[in-house]
Amino acid sequence: MSELLDPTNDYVFKRLFSEAPDLLVNLINDLRPDLPNIASVEILNPNIEPTELNGKYIILDVLARDGDGHCYNVEIQVRRYGAWHKRGLFYLTRTLGSQLGTGEDYTELRASVGLHLLDFDLFTDTAEEREQATWRFEMRDSRQPQVSLGSVLQMNLIEIHKADRLGLPEGPLRAWITFFKHWQEELTMANVAHEPVKRAMSRIRELSADEETRRLAFVRERALRDEVSFLNDARREGREEGIEQTARNLIKLGVLSDEKVAEVTGMTVAEISALHAEDKH
């Protein structure tokens, strides 16, 4: 039997859930256990373009809409970006803003919900942060968090590595965490009783048996490794040549956005924009 594909590979993740909407419904419901369940979803971006597989700084996500019109952006991330949260919020608010046409009533606006599985520890500054692995961010007052503008814009984060380490209570969420962290451990997965996770494992076996799927998963993994290498090379170059010169070189390459150049070099976006202006003169 072929070695199983990794469900944290975002190509595999998208194939797994975009091709099985009922499985995506289970995942959404299990990651948000204290909110009303949804019954069905329509996948809004089922296709994967070849340019997305090779494209750097692209995360393959699943965009879905439930029967009440609420939208869900579901994705898995294995690399920590300095501005990842800004990217997530940008796409989430864009989904929210695209719901209404000219002249439509704001009362028709439905929720835009982000569900991000992170295979790295994100919040680690305090002891309390290190002991929490699931997070939900909404529009609330900083001094009186019980006062809310509603949940029409909502970001849910699950730090799966931390959740696995902390050991969540038995239940569907723990079963999914086990799947994403221990999918290759046959004995561990045999003890998972949650039916949706068992179906996900069956689907992973099917995908893993298809040679073209394996090839494309490798193409995607190679592109992600190249991305990491490129960023590491840029950081090393920055130490050797100076931050500003590195920024100029990255700008000339035209591969990275100003935000990504700023992240790599430690400069601000405004400083990067100023370098653009200087180079034009």
Mean pLDDT of 190-213: 96
Position with higher pLDDT, 267 vs 182: 182
pLDDT band at 49 (very low <50, low <70, confident <90, very high): confident
pLDDT surpasses 80 at 29 = yes
CB 39 within 8 A of CB 25: yes
pLDDT band at 227 (very low <50, low <70, confident <90, very high): low
**Residue in 12, 35, 11, 237 with CA at minimum distance from that of residue 156:** 35
pLDDT band at 86 (very low <50, low <70, confident <90, very high): confident
**Residue in 135, 138, 178, 176 with CA at minimum distance from that of residue 157:** 135
Mean pLDDT of 259-271: 80
Position with higher pLDDT, 164 vs 90: 164
pLDDT band at 276 (very low <50, low <70, confident <90, very high): confident
Position with higher pLDDT, 95 vs 79: 95
Averaged pLDDT of the chain: 86
SS3 at position 103 = coil
pLDDT tens for each residue of 1-18: 469 999 999 899 999 999
pLDDT surpasses 80 at 158 = yes
User: Which pLDDT score is estimated for 105?
Assistant: 79
**Residue in 53, 58, 42, 30 with CA at minimum distance from that of residue 174:** 30
DSSP 104-147: --GGG---EEEEEEESS----SSHHHHT--EEEE--B-SS-TT-
pLDDT band at 280 (very low <50, low <70, confident <90, very high): low
Give the end-to-end CA distance of the chain in Å, rounded to a whole number.
61
